[in-house]
Amino acid sequence: MTGFGARLAAAVDARGALCVGIDPHPGLLDAWGLPRDAEGLERFALTCVEALAGEIAVLKPQSAFFEAHGSRGVAVLERVIAEAGAAGALVLVDAKRGDIGSTMAAYAQAYLADGSPLAGDAVTLSPYLGFGSLEPALATAEATGRGVFVLALTSNPEGAQVQRARADGRSVAQAVVDAAAARNAGAVPMGSIGLVVGATLAETGVDLSALNGPILAPGVGAQGAGPADLARLFGAGRHVLPTSSRDVLRHGPDAGAVRAAALRLRDEVAATA
């Protein structure tokens, strides 16, 4: 069984370093001339799959926008996961789950277990009930060859209150980085526990040198970060996966225009790497 870290490295080698979010935000549905209902959601999401899944390394459906439409929306998310994967893209389900005990184990079964229609190739997790609370998800991901991306440093201003707080001589974010690095140690070409670090940050303030895993860097495009910010924040040689959503999706509803925008951004990222 090939682990997620190796599969992600292969996908980036073949398709370039870019993750595109599938975010059916109500404002984007409006811009595409689609109704704010499950039918509009489905047309939007499947157009994104058509446009991107054959070319882009990773697609990241934002679960909340699907859940907002109830069971019909979740059914669309399941279809997006299946069809994007069938077209060759890796699917990162952006669900940001985090809990304890049996509840965390249930989330792990939903998003990381074989046979679950909500299980893509990886899922985002929140560690702020303690990194150890993620153990059911980490164990399930390891057993099934899937990956996780753990929130470390987010770009929202409120995040610093928790993430940059200090305990035991290091920031909380550094403790998350260190815990992920310990789980990834020795993996080749890299481990399957990634971190989420916002591309719009002025600086990270953490040591990422031992991570040996991927970094998901949201915020490229509409949120203000550009490809040059990736090199400034992370340097060369790291497994950084920039992610963009609105800056690509605003080119819809034409699938060809969405695809062209994503490929332009991918090429800009490659040119500054």
Residue 52 CB-half CA count within 13 A: 37
Cis peptide bond prior to 189, omega within 30° of 0: yes
Strands (E), 102-211: 122-125, 147-153, 166-167, 170-171, 193-197
Question: Under CATH, what is the fold of the domain 4-272?
Answer: TIM Barrel (3.20.20)
Cβ-based burial of 86 (10 A; exposed 0-12, middle 13-18, buried ≥19): exposed
Q: Can you list the pairs that 254-258 forms with residues at least 24 positions away whose Cβ atoms lie under 8 Å?
A: 255/47, 255/50, 255/51, 256/51, 258/47, 258/48, 258/51, 258/52
pLDDT at 238: 73
d(CA 219, CA 200): 6
Strands (E), 16-89: 19-22, 58-61
pLDDT at 120: 98
* Backbone conformation region of residue 237, classed left if phi is above 0, alpha if psi is from -120 to 50, else beta: left
Q: Of 110, 131, 52, 90, nearest to 214 (Cα)?
A: 90
Residue 199: pLDDT band with limits 50, 70, 90: very high
d(CA 264, CA 48): 16
pLDDT at 221: 76
Q: Report the 10 Å Cβ neighbour count for 77.
A: 25
pLDDT at 167: 87
Averaged over 53-73, what is the pLDDT?
98
Does residue 148 carry a pLDDT above 90?
Answer: yes
Determine phi and psi for 254, rounding to 5 degrees. Answer: -75, 120
Q: What is the mean pLDDT of the chain?
A: 96
122-125 and 170-171 strand pairing: unpaired
> Both tokens of residue 226?
């550009």
pLDDT digits (tens, 9 = 90+) for 211-244: 999 999 999 877 778 888 898 899 876 799 999 9
The catalytic residues are 96
Give me the residue spans of the domains in the chain: 4-272
d(CA 136, CA 109): 9
Work out the percent of the chain whose per-residue pLDDT is above 90. Answer: 90
Does residue 150 carry a pLDDT above 80?
Answer: yes
d(CA 177, CA 183): 10
Averaged over 76-87, what is the pLDDT?
98
pLDDT digits (tens, 9 = 90+) for 91-141: 999 999 999 999 999 999 999 999 999 999 999 999 999 999 999 999 999
Does residue 206 carry a pLDDT above 90?
Answer: yes
